[in-house]
Structure 1
């Protein structure tokens, strides 16, 4: 029998993410079109899990295969191994459907042989007593494990690596500007609601009404630390997609002015749509490079400035399965230089006595370029994204 639609969609996502460098969430959007909710959920679980664990899966493959594999054969093996090693999916289905995914390539026979051998004998993964073994055991690039090992210590790193492979909690932000009561099961924390049970947020009437929006608890701390007041003039640099921007508007009661700067026109349009949905009429969008903004171009200085620049995103690995394989030390250095330029422009736009807050959703000391009063969240300690938030000065 042919492979199920869910597994074929997962296969497409895995191949696009690994071979073509596509973002897994965007690839899933296209690959899962036409699937019902159950099949879409299975496709997401298999695809995201396989991409997330690809380092470990390839380590297992390399111990069973001593030749180059065609891309479709390797992807079918990765999907099959993920199901055998990390899920409770019936073993016969995991093997049989992975073999079907590899057909008509003759390598389908190899897929069958390797999966059945692992099914019989298991896969003895290394422990995590040292960075090299921990990188395999927890499916992270070795350079990143070394960075955290030196920075946080062995025990903290092992806990962080394990947390990165667990599902991220689903946190929503309740938006009072919508004027709609939100009665969903979960745990409240300030404006945050940590949801209990499954929910299709983007299809929910409360989402369409602007009463809720997905946003991690760590991300929600940023606007509160900036502490905007009604009637103030606020600058938000690198503002898209607008979660923090619209939170600022809510904290101000939508009274005042928020100039949201975004350099990409398409992202700026998405920000406009977000602000409209969230009833944030105080948000004014300015399309420009945050490194080049001046008070003259923006109509004067600002009472408060938020700098949320591009970063490596290493605090969000549980919800972005491919991000750990995209980041690199060289990329972090490039980001640091851009961040420094943005902070310099932000300081030039801040009124005397004003407040500047710098935030990044990463766990990388090279990207902590602003000192002062700082908050750092860690996924294994705080149960939310890893963030660095600092008040300048």
Structure 2
């Protein structure tokens, strides 16, 4: 395989920027590709694959090269392992291939290094999940994340979207599940497609697509999405509810609310009212005991979505996890009063750690006897999609 010097040189610079500036990898790559619009599909795929691998396995390459921040050396090692090639260009240090291979075999005996996790996180995963489950999930979280689409049934059908994508050279297949889901055979420029711009689908992970059907929501009901973000699940509610009833989508970040409004317009979702919770005077108090369904998709460690956001492994700390658990607890206790008698509270995270999931729910139920646990579900990243937890509680 012929390697292009300009592409390879971009890799260590991107990894350095992502890790040292704590920039999400997908955003950094998007900016880079916009800057170098002359790069073709294969060029972009090569750079993205290298960058994601080097971030996922940052600890492995650090130990292998005996350097935490020589990203040029990390890139040389990645090229060697990937293509069995040695780089001879300036800036890329020379290596001893035999020594690399020997070190790799040694590091295989230290799974927290070989799979590349901080020591505290590895210990936490072992404690929370047990060694067998944690080893399995830790390894799966280092795989490339597939791309899933949720067909917007307000505007299109599975077959309609499949055909539209095929016309633009994009192959996908149906993934059986609770929603109308497609899985791409390989990555593509989806946001330039006619189907996307007409609002026929949303990019949404397969596991994430389980939450709205799990809630049991029905057309005509009142829903409050407490942590709506940019609205992926809000839009799913609108589709399942067939644009009837009322959805209140709340978030404290104005940029996310603006993005939600933009997405709702494209999707043809007309039953959504956005609430920006950016001041103390704006609250959800007026909606107390009004909701048939309240979704609390709370801020979390994101441990279930490391496939998509591998840089989070290196920014998350034990102290940050403790703070997140307190935020989760506060959201549960503060907003549970929004659920009417006989209504449903859905608590969800994109975490695989029980202390953010079922243990939080158990603690909540100890002081809120008006709620009972109806069902809970854990979707692991070793299966189809990301790692997600969801619990459905009924208010008596």
1:252 matched to 2:241? The reply is: yes
Match of 2:136 in 1: 159
1:222-261 to 2 correspondences below 5 Å: 222-261=211-250
Quick one: structure 1 residues 45 and 232, their matched pair in 2 at CA, closer, same or farther if it must change by over 3 Å?
A: same
1:189-338 to 2 correspondences below 5 Å: 189=176, 190-288=179-277, 294-298=283-287, 301-338=290-327
Deviations 1:4-45 (A, max 9, x none): 332233222201112222221111122222233222211111
Say if 2:64 and 2:103, in contact at 8 Å, map to a contact too.
Answer: no
Output the TM-score relative to the length of structure 1: 0.86
Alpha-carbon distance between aligned partners in 2 of 1:14 and 1:209, rounded to the nearest angstrom = 35
Alpha-carbon distance between aligned partners in 1 of 2:265 and 2:209, rounded to the nearest angstrom = 19
Say if 2:223 and 2:291, in contact at 8 Å, map to a contact too.
Answer: yes
Q: Name the SS of the counterpart of 1:46 in structure 2.
A: helix
How far has the Cα of 1:90 moved from its partner?
Answer: 5.2
How far has the Cα of 1:361 moved from its partner?
Answer: 0.2
Q: Which consecutive unaligned segments of at least 5 residues does structure 2 have? A: 163-170, 363-372
Match of 1:105 in 2: none
Deviations 1:170-219 (A, max 9, x none): 21111111236222531332321222244322222211121121111110
Output the TM-score relative to the length of structure 2: 0.85
1:37-116 to 2 correspondences below 5 Å: 37-62=41-66, 71=69, 74-85=70-81, 87=82, 89=83, 91-92=85-86, 95-96=87-88, 99-100=89-90, 102=91, 108=92, 111-112=93-94, 114=95, 116=97
How far has the Cα of 1:52 moved from its partner?
Answer: 1.0
371-380 or 3-12, which deviates more? 3-12
Match of 1:21 in 2: 22
Match of 2:389 in 1: 388
Alpha-carbon distance between aligned partners in 1 of 2:281 and 2:136, rounded to the nearest angstrom = 40
How far has the Cα of 1:343 moved from its partner?
Answer: 1.3
Q: Which consecutive unaligned segments of at least 5 residues does structure 1 have? A: 103-107
Match of 1:169 in 2: 146
Say if 2:128 and 2:355, in contact at 8 Å, map to a contact too.
Answer: no
1:124 matched to 2:108? The reply is: no
CA RMSD, Structure 1 to Structure 2 (Å): 2.5
Say if 2:173 and 2:184, in contact at 8 Å, map to a contact too.
Answer: yes
How far has the Cα of 1:169 moved from its partner?
Answer: 2.1
How far has the Cα of 1:290 moved from its partner?
Answer: 11
Deviations 1:198-247 (A, max 9, x none): 43222222111211211111101110111221111100011122111101
Quick one: structure 1 residues 291 and 148, their matched pair in 2 at CA, closer, same or farther if it must change by over 3 Å?
A: farther
Match of 2:175 in 1: 188
Say if 1:5 and 1:39, in contact at 8 Å, map to a contact too.
Answer: no
**How many residues are paired up?**
365
Of residues 311, 325, 328, the one that matches 1:339 is 328
